[in-house]
Structure 1
């Protein structure tokens, strides 16, 4: 890829994020992690999940209006320490 000035620009591969996702979050053994192709890893990490499965801000606000925490006739929850 070339920047506006003509010089090539590259971003380093995000090794820290990939290692964290594979070894910590997915808890893959190192041998399995290193044997995965990039496509296999991306699938395991959720890169191909449908976008509609994620809750948008508007969706959250709609749920909050439809199901408020302070129900009619009920009492607000109290916090005790």
Structure 2
């Protein structure tokens, strides 16, 4: 709501009538796609789990 009403300045009726996909398209158009990427691979997850184990040693 903060993005739609505050940052984008949409009227409440317009904001509430948007579908999630429409809101996402508006946000991408305004701010780009920074921070989006593919999910990590299994090998990347395994490396992270070795580097940052959940248990204390």
TM-score, length of structure 2 as denominator length: 0.49
Give the structure with the larger helix fraction.
Answer: 2
If asked which structure has higher relative contact order (CA below 8 Å, sep 6+), I would say 2
